[in-house]
């Protein structure tokens, strides 16, 4: 029984320091940081905030990403468990039948039948002398960090997609309102042209041209309504609830323009999840190379067994049935057909590949940031041009209205002037929303953080 006590004490001594490490390194994901609610509050849109919070709770992609992170955490625990002593209880019961005599020198054992009850408690532990198992656990932890970045990327993708669709839906609402007014005006214009034709004041071609324009306006209105339905359906999927009937949204008049810098420092890409993931990947492969090298070294397995070996149930736990053994089993692979060397070279090539992937990620990240910034500048320039054109069209409409008041213009002329004003307003509506979405694209390109902290002085 002393050997049993020694074996149990040895297991506790080996497991104690490892268990301490497990308690001091909990794995937790900071979802608040992923959400970045403070940045979205800059839009001053309560409905947008509500939809974002609803998506955080119900979006299926986010739930899948969270489940993947939890799975990776369990993989880390499994890797850590492989470093601990393994204790197993493997009882067996058998019936032996011999059909011939057995000789041990001058001793003769005739054929016999007997039962055997074996109840061993077995402990095995691989002594991590070279730190190979520790490195394997460290490699798995790097993989966990990579999956966390995938989850963070999901949050950025979902929130920016939701916000972009949200503002596009607001744009569609306003454009439908604008287009409906255009259709109504064109219907009045067609009626006036029909009266002019009846009075012999215009040709049939003039009437047909106005009717053709009316059909074009109706087609545009139908396309806008289709786009509105598609955007609503997409938002319902992002929100993650099939029971959502209407997506709550604000008015176009409540849209707030978001500031963006004229230029951004290259350091802005350091928060991108794909770049951080590439860094963790390099670290992981570097660790895997070390593991492949240490796989050439011998392994030492500590083993021990205590239990009972009885041939009768009545005497199963007797003192003379006690079974115990303890020892060390060295293991060294002398020939594996070059498999270990191939694995080492494979990991080295993988490391070289990871470095190239990291460099490519940097280039792609810089491109996306620059593209988003250029797109934002273009959207803001187009907005200024469309505003100027819209103000000029307003002035033309005011002049036409004055001419109508003094009797120097007809109702048809004022309808045409109002129609031109609505057409000019369409461009202004689109450019306003595009400018807001361009700011969202910059936010996405820098990794879901406030890009103003990376503003570079010109």
Identify the residue with better confidence: 49 or 309.
49
- pLDDT score recorded for residue 12: 45
- 446: part of which helix (H) or strand (E)? none
Query: Nearest 5°: CA angle at 139, between 137 and 144?
Result: 95
The mean pLDDT value for 347-361 works out to 95
> Do the bridges between strand 299-310 and strand 322-331 make them parallel or antiparallel, or are there none, so unpaired?
antiparallel
Least confident of 86-90, 291-295, 380-384: 86-90
In CATH terms, the superfamily for domain 2-83+128-297+332-454 is Outer membrane efflux proteins (OEP) (1.20.1600.10)
Distances in Å between the Cα of 256 and the Cα atoms of 44, 81, 253 are 7, 53, 9
At 22, the pLDDT band (50, 70, 90 cuts) reads very low
- 369: part of which helix (H) or strand (E)? helix 339-405
Is 203's pLDDT higher than 70?
yes
At 134, the pLDDT band (50, 70, 90 cuts) reads very high
How does pLDDT run across 316-343, given as a tens digit for each residue? Answer: 777 778 888 899 989 888 888 899 999 9
At 174, the pLDDT band (50, 70, 90 cuts) reads very high
Closest CA to 248 of 416, 111, 50, 56: 50
Q: Which structure tokens are listed for 381?
A: 């320039």
- pLDDT score recorded for residue 408: 66
Cβ atoms of 139 and 291 closer than 8 Å: yes
How does pLDDT run across 31-61, given as a tens digit for each residue? Answer: 666 778 888 989 999 999 999 999 999 999 9
Is 428's pLDDT higher than 90?
yes
Parse the chain into domains and list their residue ranges: 2-83+128-297+332-454
Q: How far apart are the first and last CA of the chain?
A: 81
Is 25's pLDDT higher than 50?
no
Is 169's pLDDT higher than 80?
yes
Cβ atoms of 182 and 191 closer than 8 Å: no
Chain center to CA of 62:
7
For the chain, helix, strand, coil in percent to 5 are: 70, 10, 20
- pLDDT score recorded for residue 224: 94
Q: Which structure tokens are listed for 316?
A: 């199963």
The mean pLDDT value for 367-372 works out to 94
Average model confidence (pLDDT) across the chain: 86
- pLDDT score recorded for residue 406: 76
Report d(CA 438, CA 378) in Å as an integer.
Answer: 9
Alpha helices in 259-338 (DSSP H): 273-294
Residue 369 exposed, middle or buried by CB count within 10 Å (0-12, 13-18, 19+): buried
- pLDDT score recorded for residue 144: 94
Distances in Å between the Cα of 137 and the Cα atoms of 314, 315, 350, 397 are 47, 45, 19, 73
- pLDDT score recorded for residue 32: 66
**pTM recorded for the entire structure:** 0.82
Report d(CA 224, CA 168) in Å as an integer.
Answer: 11
How does pLDDT run across 216-264, given as a tens digit for each residue? Answer: 999 999 999 999 999 999 999 999 887 887 889 999 999 998 888 888 8
Report d(CA 163, CA 171) in Å as an integer.
Answer: 12
- 330: part of which helix (H) or strand (E)? strand 322-331
């Amino acid at each position: 029984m002393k050997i049993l006590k020694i074996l149990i004490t040895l297991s506790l001594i080996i497991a104690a320091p490892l268990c301490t490490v497990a308690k001091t390194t909990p794995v937790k994901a900071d979802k608040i940081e992923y959400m970045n609610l403070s940045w979205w509050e800059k839009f001053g849109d309560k409905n947008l905030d509500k939809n974002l919070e609803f998506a955080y709770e119900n979006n299926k992609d986010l739930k899948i990403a969270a489940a993947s992170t939890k799975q990776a955490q369990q993989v880390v625990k499994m890797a850590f468990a492989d470093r601990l002593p393994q204790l197993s209880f493997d009882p067996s019961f058998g019936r032996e039948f011999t059909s011939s005599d057995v000789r041990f020198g001058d001793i003769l054992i005739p054929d016999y039948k007997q039962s055997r009850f074996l109840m061993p408690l077995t402990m095995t532990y691989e002594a991590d002398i070279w730190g190979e198992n520790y490195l394997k656990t460290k490699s798995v932890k790097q993989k966990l960090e990579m999956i966390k970045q995938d989850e963070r990327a999901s949050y950025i993708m979902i929130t920016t997609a939701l916000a972009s669709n949200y503002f596009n839906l607001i744009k569609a609402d306003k454009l439908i309102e604008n287009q409906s007014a255009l259709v109504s005006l064109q219907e009045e214009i067609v009626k006036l042209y029909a009266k002019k034709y009846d009075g012999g004041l215009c040709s049939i071609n003039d009437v047909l041209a106005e009717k053709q324009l009316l059909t074009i306006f109706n087609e545009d209105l139908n396309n806008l309504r289709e786009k509105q339905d598609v955007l609503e359906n997409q938002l319902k999927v992002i929100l993650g609830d099939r029971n959502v009937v209407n997506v709550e949204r604000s008015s176009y008049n409540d849209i707030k323009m978001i500031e963006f810098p004229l230029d951004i420092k290259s350091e802005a890409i350091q928060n991108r999840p794909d770049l951080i993931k590439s860094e963790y990947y390099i670290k992981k492969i570097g660790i895997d190379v070390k593991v492949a090298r240490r796989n050439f070294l011998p392994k030492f397995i500590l083993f021990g067994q205590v239990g009972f070996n009885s041939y009768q149930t009545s005497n199963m736990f007797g003192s003379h049935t006690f079974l115990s053994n303890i020892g060390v089993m060295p293991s060294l692979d002398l020939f594996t057909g070059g498999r270990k060397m191939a694995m080492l070279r494979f990991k080295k090539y993988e490391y070289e590949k990871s470095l190239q992937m990291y460099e490519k990620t940097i280039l792609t990240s810089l491109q996306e940031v620059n593209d988003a910034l250029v797109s934002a500048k273009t959207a803001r320039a187009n907005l200024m041009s469309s505003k100027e054109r819209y103000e000029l069209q307003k002035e033309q409409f005011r002049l036409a209205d004055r001419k109508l008041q003094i009797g120097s213009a007809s109702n048809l002329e004022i309808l045409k002037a109002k129609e031109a004003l609505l057409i000019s307003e369409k461009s202004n509506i689109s450019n306003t929303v595009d400018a807001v979405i361009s700011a969202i694209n910059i936010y996405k390109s820098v990794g879901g953080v406030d890009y103003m902290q990376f503003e570079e002085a010109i």
